[in-house]
Chains A and B, each alone.
Chain A
Amino acid sequence: MSDQTALSDTKLLIQVQAGDDASFEALFLRHYERVYAALFALLGNKADAEDMAQQAFLKLYHAPERLRLHGDETNIAGWLYRVAINEGYNVLRSQKRRAVWQEQFARLWPFSAVLADPAQLVESQDTQARVRQILLQMKSRDAKLLLLRHTGLSYAELAAVLEVAPGSIGSLLTRAERVFREKYRLVFGEEK
């Protein structure tokens, strides 16, 4: 194992493609925790986050040829985070749609304008859910940027995930943070 841990992502991936499962394990151990943390931040649920992280790695395992086309090292991690965060985002969006529909409109045959009290929706949710709600109200690229940055990705990694130039991450991030803070104030109030 020690020789694997010293190798770059790209080298490891080439060895995975050659059928070396130990290299896959090394890639897994190297990236799993951060992929998991990003997904947990997004989904708020350990089991879901673990499942989705595993799925992302399974994709890496089963379709490495596609990755080789990209070449440089950062792209492998970038690809992995991108797959994970996009899948997680899809799950979350469908969960959100469900939650809003169920709670706000109670899935009712709509013959009355009287709807469930939206205040109740806010009251019943904890801080986590509200932070997540704010992220979901943002442009998905901005939200992913904040989440992944918070998870500890470098600017170079972020650029690879979002498929933008590394030089633009600084501006994208400051803008996303400002949008987040504004929305956060609306939900939590000024005192925070």
Chain B
Amino acid sequence: MGVDEGLLGAYLDGELAPPEREQVEQWLSGSPEVQARLEQLRQTREQVHQALAALTPAAPSSAVLAFKRLQAQLEPVSLQNGVPAKNPSSTVWESPSLLAELKTDVKNIRYTWRNTVTKGFIFAFVISLVIVISAAVLAVWPDLGYRVTEQLQQIAPAEGVNLPVSEANKVETTTVVVALQPISRGSEFGPGSIGERSWPTSHLPTGFISGETETVGKIARTDIAAGQVIVQGMLVDASAPDMPDLPAGVVPVSAVFNHEIELVGYKLESKEAIDLTLYWRSVQEVANNYTVFIHLTDVNGLLLAQEDSPPGQGKFPTSRWSPGQLVEDEHHILTVENLPDGKYDLKVGLYNSVTGERLSGQSEGNPTPDSSLRLMELMVGEVGPTVPFGYGIQADPNGDAELNLSSIEELGFEWVKFQMPWKTVEPTQGNYDWAAWDQVIDAYAAKNIKVMLSIVKAPDWARPADDDKMVEGPPADPAKYAEFVAQVSERYRGKVQAVEIWDEQNLWYKAGGKGRMNAANYVQLLQQAYPAIKAVNPEMLVISGGLTPAGNVADLAIDDVEYLEQMYASGVKDYFDALGAHPAGYNCPALADWRTVTAEEAGADSFLEPFINRHHSWCFLGTMEAYREVMVANGDGGKAIAITEFGWAVDDSPQPGYMYALDNTPVERARWLVEAYLWGKKQGWVGPMILWNLDYSLTTPVTELGYFSVYYTSAYDALVKMPK
């Protein structure tokens, strides 16, 4: 019997027209089998319904409130108190309702003034916006009045100004029209009040009011955009842009000036020209507008250069900062071309430009010397050992050494990198098996190929009792690792030119288990290894372990840039010669900007994360530049970044997790690799660039390692032809 389940379903839902319903009822009456099927359908429907009930909103959303929110988006923003925003050609003077408002407000203003003004001339900290216009002049220049009216309408609420005022009764005043916004400090002004105001003629705000005509002319000719106000005669943003937290790459500091303003961080943009960004936070409401000074001195304190300017070049006057607000403040000091190589001090402080007095500083509970904070020691010229640029590639130490050697020679590369697992060389404490390594390293040394060893994977005997032995991890005692790498450095002196101290230590399965990644612990590894290596082989370059490019993922990975900052905070600076990096490319083109790259540009349609969930770590350049920024900010810009792994995967049927390999074509990879090398070569701060990898497609076929191999690919040919 042809029973249509769809009809049964619709029957259950009462969605059948009478003739069909009768048909179904006929089936049902004649057949227990159909009845059973209906019952089954009913049960399934019930189960699905119950499951989906989990998705029912716990908190209903009010349609009426939602409509109000929507309305706000539909209507043009209008100034309050009846200024007709929809019709910008109407003027204040033609609006009877506004004129009525004006009269009311005039009383308010005068009333307030009498209450606020206590003696002589004071500064009233009026958090308000004022557009000042001489009514008299408006009468003469109606056209000007019209323009000003338009500007009034553009101005958003919550704007402010500092203006000197006086007792209206005792001095000659100039009557002006003002638009006031909410006023703090006990005023009863409401938002958006508009009215006349009398100003003491002799104390009109400086800078923009020297006479009535001048006043009107100046304001009328200034383009005042929404969100701007006038402070001390300067058009400024109503508030400094909101910044919830210190951005990446900022070095945190803490110095409080005059109990009012704290310097919370700084960032040095480049070493060649001193571009310094300061991050301030006001501790309380600030009365005055202070000026920032930055001094560059030699080690004896002799002033060599200075820059004085209010925050944001006057755009973010300190009196407008709200307590707790973070303010970004950029300064350019000088170009350091003529400075001789050496060490310099960079100092920062604040002063009151009216009195010339410096604000006393407090840092860590102590007064700062000279009322300034010494930010950092600045190094000019080459400091410490350098690691120059070089072409390199990682090979499988178990691969065909002869083939690999001839390939590297054909490529014209100078570096080869191997991963050396400590646990295979010293499987039990004190028992070493060097034989295989001696052979490989001798072969490369004989051809004058520089060798970089990434020394990883502690043997179980050296690891903490409680870590996860299913994954790799560091030793319990960093000194044990230091002993081992020192032995390697001594044994292969002149044959191995660089060692990389661990690898991807910000990743759980290289850090001994979930949640065990810890920058401070890792820095101890370097602090022990570095002097131990240099003691036996001063020529050996020590490269910090390349971090895995990642975001913060629960207990699995720590954002590499944050981890690097933590490394500096833990005192890593003097314990490596070059910073290791693994700037992955995924399916992002070599020179693309991770902030803006599109899937189209990248030719991507299988893996879209880099274009949706933007993060520096998706793109080669993003990772490199982010690290560089952190190094420079930590005064470590003299050191190179050694790329100890980079590359693009290509595969037409990748396993899950490697879908980006599907997006990349062999031709794209060839082009991106060449672009990356050429880019690295010209930076001056990029050390050896080790391509991941040469031959894993031969030694471990059909694994994801092979997706990155360039042997027998067009990338190989392109790299051979690439000008070196």
A→B interface (CB under 8 Å) = 21, 25, 28-29, 32-33, 36-37, 40-42, 44, 46, 49-50, 53-54, 57-58, 61, 94, 97-98, 101-116, 127-128, 131-132, 134, 146-147, 150, 154-155, 167-175, 177-178, 180-181, 184
Nearest-neighbor residue (CB-CB) of A43 within chain B: B55
User: How would residues 57 to 88 of chain B score, 1 for a CB under 8 Å from any chain A CB and 0 otherwise?
Assistant: 10111011011011001100000000000000
> Does B388 sit within 8 A of A, measured CB to CB?
no
The reply to whether the CB of B135 lies closer than 8 angstroms to some CB of chain A is no
A150 with B9: CB separation less than 8 A: no
Besides the known contacts A32-B66, A94-B613, 4 further A-B residue pairs in the complex with CB atoms under 8 A apart: A36-B57, A94-B612, A131-B54, A150-B49
- Asked if B15 lies at the interface with its beta carbon under 8 angstroms from chain A, I say yes
Chain B residues contacting A146 (CB-CB under 8 Å) are 48, 52
Residues of B within 8 A of A128 (CB): 54-55
Contacts of A109 in B (CB 8 A): 504, 548-550, 582, 584, 645
A108–B507 contact, CB under 8 A?
yes
Chain B min CB distance to A153 (Å): 11
Q: Contact at B557–A106, with CB atoms within 8 Å?
A: yes
In whole angstroms, how far apart are the Cα atoms of A116 and B515 in the complex? 12
Closest to B70 in A: A54
A-B contact pairs, 15 of them (CB 8 A): A41-B55, A98-B612, A107-B615, A108-B556, A109-B504, A111-B504, A111-B705, A113-B703, A115-B657, A116-B553, A131-B54, A150-B53, A155-B15, A170-B6, A171-B9
How far apart sit A109 and B708, CA to CA, in the bound complex (Å)? Answer: 12
**A107-B550, A181-B47 given; A97·B609 CB < 8 A:** yes
| Shortest Cβ distance from A150 into B: residue | B52
Q: Is the CB of B52 within 8 A of A28?
A: no
What are the nearest 6 A-B pairs in CB distance? A171-B6, A170-B10, A170-B6, A41-B55, A174-B9, A40-B57
Residues of chain A within 8 A (CB-CB) of B556 are 106, 108, 116
A173 touches B9 (CB 8 A): yes
Assembly CA distance A57 to B11 (angstroms): 33
B4 CB within 8 Å of chain A:
yes
Could you tell me if A32 and B584 are in contact, using CB atoms closer than 8 angstroms?
Answer: no
Q: Does B140 contact A (CB under 8 A)?
A: no
Contact call A150/B55, Cβ cutoff below 8 A: yes
The answer to whether A177 touches B703, judged by C-beta atoms less than 8 angstroms apart, is no
Q: Is the CB of A155 within 8 A of B10?
A: yes
Partner of B70, one of A58, A102, A112, A155: A58
Cβ-neighbour of A28 out of B48, B49, B70, B615 (below 8 A): B70
Closest residue of A by beta carbon distance from B551: A107
Task: Provide the residues of chain B in CB contact with A104, threshold 8 Å.
Answer: 657
Q: Given A41-B52, A181-B47, do A46 and B61 touch, yes or no (CB 8 Å)?
A: yes
Which residues of B552-573 have CB atoms within 8 Å of chain A's CB atoms?
Answer: 553-554, 556-557
| Contact indicator A169/B584 (Cβ below 8 Å) | no
Chain B CB within 10 A, most for which of A49, A132, A170 = A170
Contact of B608 with A by CB under 8 A:
yes
Complex partner residue of B645 from A29, A111, A131, CB under 8 angstroms: A111
Please report which residues of chain B, range 200-224, place their CB below 8 angstroms from some CB of chain A when the two chains form the complex.
none
Task: Tell me if A107 and B557 are in contact (CB < 8 A).
Answer: yes
Question: Cβ of A107 and Cβ of B553 under 8 Å apart?
Answer: yes
CB pair B70–A172 under 8 Å, yes or no, is no
B66 touching A54 by the CB < 8 A rule? Answer: yes
* Residues of A with C-beta under 8 A to B584: 109
* Inter-subunit contact B608/A97 (CB<8 Å): yes
Closest to A104 in B: B657
Residues from chain B with a CB closer than 8 A to the CB of A127 are 54
Nearest residue (CB) in B for A114 is B509
User: Which residue from chain B places its CB closest to the CB of A54 in the assembled complex?
Assistant: B70
Q: Is the CB of B67 within 8 A of A32?
A: yes
- Cβ-based interface call for B5 (8 A): yes
Q: How far is the CB of B402 from chain A (nearest CB, A)?
A: 25
- Chain A minimum-CB-distance residue to B611: A94
Q: Are A181 and B553 in contact (CB-based, < 8 A)?
A: no
For A102, the closest partner residue in chain B by CB is B553
Cβ B64 vs Cβ A108 within 8 A:
no
Query: Is B56 at the interface (CB under 8 A from chain A)?
Result: yes
Most buried by A among B41, B504, B613: B613
Measured in the bound complex, the distance between the Cα atoms of B10 and A167 in whole Å is 9
Shortest B367–chain A CB gap in Å is 46
A108–B548 contact, CB under 8 A?
Answer: yes
Distance A111 CA – B707 CA, assembled complex (angstroms) = 11
Interface pair B52/A131, CB less than 8 Å apart: yes
Contacts of B615 in A (CB 8 A): 107
Q: Which of A40, A53, A101, A154 has a CB less than 8 Å from the CB of B15?
A: A154
**Pairwise interchain contact A57-B70, C-beta atoms closer than 8 A:** yes
Contacts of B575 in A (CB 8 A): none
B401 interface hit (Cβ, 8 Å) = no
Asked if B179 is an interface residue, CB under 8 A from chain A, the answer is no
Q: Which residue of A lies closest to B585 (CB)?
A: A109
Asked if B609 and A106 make an inter-chain contact with CB atoms under 8 angstroms apart, the answer reads no
Chain B residue at minimal CB-CB distance from A128 = B54
Give complex CA distance A92, B216 in Å.
Answer: 55
B704 contacts the other chain (CB 8 A) = yes
